Amino acid sequence: MLFFTQCFGAVLDLIHLRFQHYKAKRVFSAAGQLVCVVNPTHSLKYAPTRCAAAQASTEQGIPPPCHHHEAVHDPQLVPCTCPLFSCPWEGHLEVVVSHLRQTHRINILQGAEIVFLATDMHLPAPTDWIIMHSCLGHQFLLVLRKQEKYEGHPQFFATMMLIGTPTQADNFTYRLELNRNQRRLKWEATPRSILECVDSVISDGDCLVLNTSLAQLFSDNGSLAIGIAITTSKVHSSEAEM
Amino acid sequence: MLFFTQCFGAVLDLIHLRFQHYKAKRVFSAAGQLVCVVNPTHSLKYAPTRCAAAQASTEQGIPPPCHHHEAVHDPQLVPCTCPLFSCPWEGHLEVVVSHLRQTHRINILQGAEIVFLATDMHLPAPTDWIIMHSCLGHQFLLVLRKQEKYEGHPQFFATMMLIGTPTQADNFTYRLELNRNQRRLKWEATPRSILECVDSVISDGDCLVLNTSLAQLFSDNGSLAIGIAITTSKVHSSEAEM
C-alpha cells in the first residue's frame, strides 16, 4: 500500500513539473545541445501598457502594422523591431537587444547550436514564438509564427533575423532543422537584417514553411523542436554542381 | 554586315536548341551528376485513348479517382499506379515498371544521385512532372505536382514512391534537395510504397511542399532543379539528440 502511495506521489510530482515546464521559458542541456523551451506569446506576461492595443489587435488576427520606415526621422535611430507589438520606441541599433530584453521580455541564449522547443503548437493563429540567439559576436532574433495566409488553413513560418545591418547579415548563414518520425526537413539561408520587416519576410514565404499536418508529424506532445545553427557565410559549393 | 548576319544565325540556332530542349525529356551529365530534363504532362504525347477521359478530368482540375483498393480482385495483382491516368490495367508488381514505361511513356533513369530538372514551372495547376529512378536494385517513382489545395494559391508537392511493397519501402531513405540563391531546402523521408495512393500522400502534405514564391526563388529560367539521392535506411542519429 505504501508503495502505491509513493507511486501516486511521484506521479503528482511529475504532473507538477510538467505544469512548471509550460509556465516559463526554460533552458536545459540534452545530449550536449542547449534546449530552450519557448512558450507562445499568449503566455507572455507583463506586456507594457503602451503595447496593449497592438497586442489586442494581434490577438484578433490583425497583424501589427509594419511601420519601420515611417517612424525613423534620425537615420542613426531605428524603430523597435519586436514583431509582437507596434511599439513607439526608437533608438540606436546597439541598444535594440537590451530594449527587446527589458521591455518585451524576450530571452537571449548563447551558443552556436541550440534547440528551440516551441510549446503549445495547437494554439490558434496568429501566435508567435520568439527568442534571441547570441552567437559569433552577434545577436539574432528567431521568429516562429503560426498564421492563416489562406483562411482556415494555418501554417507555420520560421525565420532568423540579424540584429544588425543587411551588410552584416550577408556574412552569415542560418540553418533550421526538424527531425522526427523518420522525416527530416532542413532550411538554410542568409539571415535578413532586423531593419527589414519580419512580416514581409513571412508574407513573401521566403522562410521555412510548414503545413499543419507536417508540423504535427514533427511535433512531440504538442511541442516542436527546431535545431538552429549559425555559421559564417561561404559559397554553397554544391550550388555550382546543380 | 556579315558579322551581324552570323550573329543573327547563331541566335536563331540558340532559339531552335531551346525549343528542342522543351520538346523532349533529355539526360545529360553536369559536374559528374546525371541531370534529367523532365517536361510537364501537358507535353505528354501519345496518351492511350482509354486514358483520355481521365486526362481530360485532370486538365479540368479534378484529380483522377484513387481506386487502388477497388480494382484489385486477385491479391497477386496490383492496379496501374500511374498518377496521371485512371488506367484500368492491372498486373503483377514486377511488371508495373514496364507498363509505366510502355503505356504511359514514363522515362527511367539509373544512378544513386540524379538531378530532376522540371521545366515550365509557370504552367497552371494541376500539372505533374514524373520520372522513374532505378537505384539500389529497385525502381522508384518521383512525382512533382503543382496543385491548388487552397483556391488561387498553387503549391508544389514532391514525393518519391517505391515500386514495391511497404515493407520493402521501409528499407530506404530518399532525399530531395533544392539549392539556389543562397537558400537550401532538404527533405528526407522513407519512400511510400506505390501500393499507397500518391494523391493521398500529397493531400496529407507528407512530402516536400513549396509555395509558389519559394519555388520561384529556387527556379532558374522557369525550371526547377531537384537533387535526388536514395540510400538504404539507417536510424537518424540526430533524432535521439533532439
Note the ipTM here: 0.74
Could you say which of A180, A188, A206 has the minimum Cβ distance to residue B239? A180
pLDDT band per the 50, 70, 90 thresholds, residue B9: low
Candidate ranges B26-30, B47-51, B125-129; pick with highest mean pLDDT: B125-129
Look at residue B241 in the predicted model and tell me its pLDDT.
43
Domain that includes residue A98, residue range: 32-42+74-232
Task: Judge: B213–A236 Cβ closer than 8 Å, yes or no.
Answer: no
Q: Is residue B221 part of a domain?
A: yes
pLDDT band per the 50, 70, 90 thresholds, residue B10: low
Q: Is residue B220 part of a domain?
A: yes
Q: Residue A119 is part of a domain; what is its CATH number? A: 2.60.210.10
Q: Is residue A4 part of a domain?
A: no
Look at residue A25 in the predicted model and tell me its pLDDT.
54
Look at residue B193 in the predicted model and tell me its pLDDT.
93
SS3 sequence of chain B: CHHHHHHHHHHHHHHHHHHHHHHCCEEEEECCEEEEEECCHHHCCCCCHHHHHHHHHHHCCCCCCCCHHHHCCCCCCEECCCCCCCCCCEECHHHHHHHHHHCCCCCEEECCEEEEEECCCCCCCCEEEEEEEEECCEEEEEEEEEEEEECCEEEEEEEEEECCCHHHHCCEEEEEEEEECCEEEEEEECCEECCCCHHHHHHHCCCEEEEHHHHHHHEECCEEEEEEEEEECCCCHHHHHC
Q: Which residue of B has its CA nearest to A153?
A: B150
Look at residue B26 in the predicted model and tell me its pLDDT.
62
Q: What is the pLDDT of residues A109-153, one digit of tens each?
A: 888 789 999 999 999 988 999 999 999 999 999 999 999 888 888
* Phi and psi at residue A129, to the nearest 5°: -125, 120
Look at residue B35 in the predicted model and tell me its pLDDT.
80
Beta carbons within 8 Å of A56's beta carbon, 6+ residues apart: none
Q: Is residue A186 part of a domain?
A: yes
pLDDT reading at B239 higher than 70: no
Q: Is residue A197 part of a domain?
A: yes
pLDDT band per the 50, 70, 90 thresholds, residue B242: very low
- The count of domains in chain B is 1
Task: Judge: A179–B239 Cβ closer than 8 Å, yes or no.
Answer: yes
Chain A stretch 1-30, residues whose beta carbon is closer than 8 A to a beta carbon of chain B? 30
What pTM was computed for the model? Answer: 0.75
Q: What is the mean pLDDT of chain B?
A: 76
Q: Is residue B18 part of a domain?
A: no
What value does the mean pLDDT take over residues A84-100? 82
Q: What is the pLDDT of residues B134-163, one digit of tens each?
A: 999 999 999 999 998 888 889 999 999 999
Could you say which of B30, B184, B209 has the minimum Cβ distance to residue A236? B184
A125 burial type by CB count under 10 A (0-12 exposed, 13-18 middle, 19+ buried): middle
Q: Does A33 touch chain B (CB under 8 A)?
A: yes
Look at residue B183 in the predicted model and tell me its pLDDT.
96
Look at residue A93 in the predicted model and tell me its pLDDT.
85
pLDDT band per the 50, 70, 90 thresholds, residue B31: low
Look at residue B65 in the predicted model and tell me its pLDDT.
42
Where do we find the cell 491479391?
A: B75
